[in-house]
Amino acid sequence: MNHLHDSLHQAADDTGRPLTTDVPALLGRARASRQRSLRLRAVGTLGGGAALTAAAVLVVPALVGGSTPRPATPAPPAPPASSKAAEAKTVPDDEIVRRCQPQLEKYFDYPMYRPERWRVAHDRDYVVGDVVQLDGHSRMGSNPVLCEIPEEGREQRDVPFSRFMADGSDPARLTELCSESALNRRETFPDLRGGQVLAVDGDADVTVSLIAAGGQTFACVLSSPTWDAGLTDVYAWGRGDVFLNGSTTGSSNKSIVDGPASYYTGAGLTDPAARTIRVTFPDGHVEERPVRNGAYAVMIRTAGEGGLLETTIEVLGADDRVLEEFPPR
């Protein structure tokens, strides 16, 4: 800007060309003077001169009372190098078994598992990071053997049992575990991954849910892989009578699970007008669980060695009116 100021003074002092009130003309003379000066400069300073000229051009409209134009839109930057990760590739069944072998060692610390000739239990496509069930050719246990498929070369990475424990607040994790925990060996079991969780109840030890997938609904009961109580189960279950399955843990059934207790679990569809499932025990103890759009999930734990007890189950409407009762009176 100092150069422009000097050029304006020189134009004003030019006796051969008297000062004029015509601002555009005055600026034109200043530019001409500036151009003569620039031609005398060394080539190495041309870049700075061009920048100054560009700055002066932007100032001119303001001097003559016009509006300041917007700077020319700069050319779009060159697109960055592609950072898209390579598409996940399906891992073949035999490669899954190979990569999972180190993860299976921790199972053999528990009496309900033993080494087997493993195979992938379900006919599905799997990629690195997926949970997969491995089935033994002769294994008849009631607990699924699960593995998180590792990247090649990272087979020795530790994957704790907590990876296979459900979280009712994480639908994707829940449906993945339910899908892989099904022990149906006689027919292809539907893939529940990505299904809709209609209802869920329980805690980190035992989680019960109702999942909609492929036009069906499935009850899913998940317990820790380190439990031998046989709670884990996945089965198709739609609208119908409300009933609860039962299982016990503790010394009464020689279970290795700490703390004797009885578990009552169930999920399904009932009257769409229902709002509550009420479970009453013989001693008068009552447990209630919500019903939403007819969907319910129930997980009740009672501590102690008492064993499983008969219960009365009521389906209640919005006004606590009994819609159904099981067993019927």
Residues 329, 194 share a domain: yes
Per-position DSSP letters for 38-88, written without gaps between them: HHHS-GGGHHHHHHHHHHHHHHHHHHTT-PPPPPPPPPPPPPPPP-PPPPP
Residues 103, 33 share a domain: no
Residues 219, 107 share a domain: no
The reply to whether 102 falls in a domain is yes
- The residues, ordered by sequence, that sit 6+ positions from 318 with a Cβ below 8 Å of its Cβ are 273, 275
Q: Which amino acid, 208? A: V
Residues 38, 112 share a domain: no
The reply to whether 205 falls in a domain is yes
Residues 319, 212 share a domain: yes
The reported pTM is: 0.71
The reply to whether 14 falls in a domain is yes
Residues 127, 53 share a domain: no
Whole-number pLDDT of residue 188: 74
The reply to whether 30 falls in a domain is yes
Query: In tens digits, what is the pLDDT along the chain, a chain of 329 residues?
Result: 444 444 434 444 444 444 444 544 444 444 444 444 433 333 333 333 333 223 322 232 332 333 333 334 444 444 433 333 334 799 999 999 999 999 999 999 998 898 889 999 999 999 999 999 999 866 556 789 999 999 999 999 999 999 999 988 999 999 999 999 988 655 678 899 999 999 999 998 999 999 999 999 999 999 999 998 889 999 999 899 999 999 999 876 678 888 899 999 999 999 999 999 999 999 999 999 999 999 999 999 999 888 899 999 999 999 999 999 998 76
Residues 229, 155 share a domain: no
**Number of domains comprising the chain:** 3
Q: Domain ends where: 164, 199, 214?
A: 164
- Distance (Å, whole) CA 15 – CA 63: 24
- Distance (Å, whole) CA 134 – CA 235: 19
The SS3 of residue 288 is strand
The reply to whether 322 falls in a domain is yes
From the number of C-beta atoms within 10 Å of its C-beta (0-12, 13-18, 19+), residue 218 rates as buried
Range of the domain at 321: 190-329
Whole-number pLDDT of residue 251: 73
